[in-house]
Structure 1
Amino acid sequence: MTTEADPALVQSLMQGAIDLHCHSGPSVMARALNHEQALEQAAEAGMRAVLFKDHYYPTGPFVDVLKESGKATQAEPVGSIVLNNAVGGINPFAVEPALKCGAKVVWMPTVSAANHIREGHRKSLLPTKGKMLKQVGLSAVDARGDLLDNVKQVLDIIAEHDAVLSCGHLHISEVWPLFDEAKKRGVNRLLVNHPSYTVGATLSDIKELVGMGAWIEHSICMFIANRMKVYDDAFLKQMIEAAGVDRTFFGSDLGQTNAPLPVEGFRQIIGLCLSLGYSEDDVRKMVSTNAAQLAGIGANQS
């Protein structure tokens, strides 16, 4: 049984927290708050930065609007691009302007990933508010398992901008050649999000990924009490131990309707990690400084 965390300690650990996986709107998917509201709530809680992620459009322009309107003074907004069909797939011509316009993270396909589509064959993964065109399945590799040329072009652009490469919802079998080639081409910031969900990484895979220099992000929504919870506390601890505290961090993966708001998700995961026996320093790494180091945010970059 978990014990209730000291609210003052939780609030202390919220100071400087970073969410690199916020699903605020506008979106074709049902959202509980918009980007401006997400940033305001994060700032009020003492958080340092919020990355806006949408499966259908680059969010960098919203970062520029928030900064130009003076609404980004307490918490930093961060943009991203997800390489789904909506932006032409794994498209270097979409990645380049995104990275020149507020984006720090490039996600490989999610809803358009062939792996994601197979996973959702019998259940609705990430439904939209209304009916939309069926996604065309995308992969990073060809039928022989070799990395596609357009993927290599994207990697070169990511390396040039020193941005973060996330594997998105590609299968772990695609992640190995992707990250191998990324390292060869000078990409220094490698991210695996929710490794056991859709990606299909095992605990031994997680250890190997960290050995390659990758960071492991866990989705808060999958571990706290809500309609999207899929894993128990014991499994969370196993995954943290597999990667190590120094290479693990949390993103909310929240913003959906009928779910905790991103800030509340962070409060709950802090309490959960404390109840699992992690120290204040460990928790601060997993909600703040590790994400800062990965994304190159502020003075915590090293």
Structure 2
Amino acid sequence: MSLKGAIDTHVHSGPDVRARKTTSYELARAAREAGMRAIVLKNHHCSTVPLAAALSEALPGILVRGGLVLNRPAGGWNAEAVEAALKMGAAEIWMPTLSAENERAFRGYPGTGMRALDEKGRLLPELIAIIRLVAKAGAVLGTGHLSPEETCAVAALAREEGVRSILVTHPEINFIAMPVETQRRLLGRGLYFERCFCRAGFHRDWSGLARDIRGAGFESTILATDLGQPDNPHPVEGLEQFAERMRSEGFSAEEIERMTVANPAVALGLE
């Protein structure tokens, strides 16, 4: 399928702490050659904002955006780091991923991870401050690897504070496994479910994913890749394969275009 105008809101590339399929420069060039409109670079360990800005300038014809993941290498719940990233043009601020207690507990990792809620189920004051910064900057808030309970609490406050776009990060992945009923309750203006091709060994129940998309609605869905792992397809090829998989699951060409072109453009404030 054609990727003309498509946007991948979740992609990994080098340089990185871990091995990646491609460099960020090669990825951006390949996306441009495929006719894509934009990509959003994600790194679990550092801001991608400066790199994205440099690539956009070096490669006219493809928009490269970056952001910051609030993992411990970035300082965790660090409002000053968030403010700096936003002032530099961050498109998205993600909640913790590899540092999230939800994922660490699922994998049986030692030590304590980061939680969005205190022992009484209230959002942390430092997180509230971060959400307000995201709202003021008009950036996207990504839910990262938080639990469904945490995601619902974060999304509720983000809406209340006026965050323009909320991306619920791969809600179907095994360590999140957000029920479609919960997804329906989250539905509303500016909230999208970012369905990801994902990493090797993770979600591959394409029919189940298609059911979730239909359950929550393609109108609130973004198809992204989360690719960049050495043993997985190239991200550009992966997005094309993802679209073809969903086509084989019965989605129309118009619905797929909505999920790969229109919805991510609106979420990123490009429309």
- TM-score, scaled relative to structure 1: 0.86
CA deviations 1:213-239 (Å, max 9, x no partner) are 5210111136xxxx3342322101111
Structure 2 residue aligned with 1:280: 253
Q: Which has the larger radius of gyration?
A: 1
Structure 2 residue aligned with 1:185: 161
Task: Determine which of 210, 215, 235 is the counterpart of 1:242.
Answer: 215
Deviation at 1:159, TM superposition (A): 0.5
Find the residue that maps to 2:17 and give its secondary structure.
Answer: coil
Structure 1 position 214 matched with structure 2 position 191: yes
Which ranges of 4 or more aligned residues in structure 1 deviate by more than 6 Å? none
Report matched runs for 1:5-154 at 5 Å: 10-11=1-2, 14-68=3-57, 70-71=58-59, 73-121=60-108, 136-154=112-130
Contact 1:114–1:139, Cα closer than 8 Å, also in 2: yes
Structure 2 residue aligned with 1:5: none
Contact 2:77–2:127, Cα closer than 8 Å, also in 1: yes
Which range is displaced more, 196-205 or 162-171?
A: 196-205
Contact 1:50–1:78, Cα closer than 8 Å, also in 2: yes
Contact 2:172–2:203, Cα closer than 8 Å, also in 1: no
Contact 2:196–2:226, Cα closer than 8 Å, also in 1: yes
> Match of 1:61, as an amino acid?
P
Flag structure 1 segments of 5+ consecutive residues without an equivalent: 1-9, 123-133
Find the residue that maps to 2:187 and give its secondary structure.
Answer: helix
Q: CA RMSD in A?
A: 1.5
Structure 1 position 156 matched with structure 2 position 143: no
Task: Determine which of 162, 181, 203 is the counterpart of 2:180.
Answer: 203
Rounded to whole Å, the distance in 2 between the matches of 1:250 and 1:214 is: 14
Count of residue correspondences: 270
Deviation at 1:102, TM superposition (A): 3.0
Deviation at 1:136, TM superposition (A): 4.8
Deviation at 1:67, TM superposition (A): 3.3
Structure 1 position 255 matched with structure 2 position 209: no
> Match of 2:163, as an amino acid?
V
Flag structure 2 segments of 5+ consecutive residues without an equivalent: none
Contact 2:53–2:65, Cα closer than 8 Å, also in 1: no
Find the residue that maps to 1:141 and give its secondary structure.
Answer: coil
Find the residue that maps to 1:269 and give its secondary structure.
Answer: helix
Find the residue that maps to 1:103 and give its secondary structure.
Answer: coil
Find the residue that maps to 2:157 and give its secondary structure.
Answer: helix
Structure 2 residue aligned with 1:7: none
Rounded to whole Å, the distance in 2 between the matches of 1:266 and 1:84 is: 26
Contact 2:8–2:39, Cα closer than 8 Å, also in 1: yes
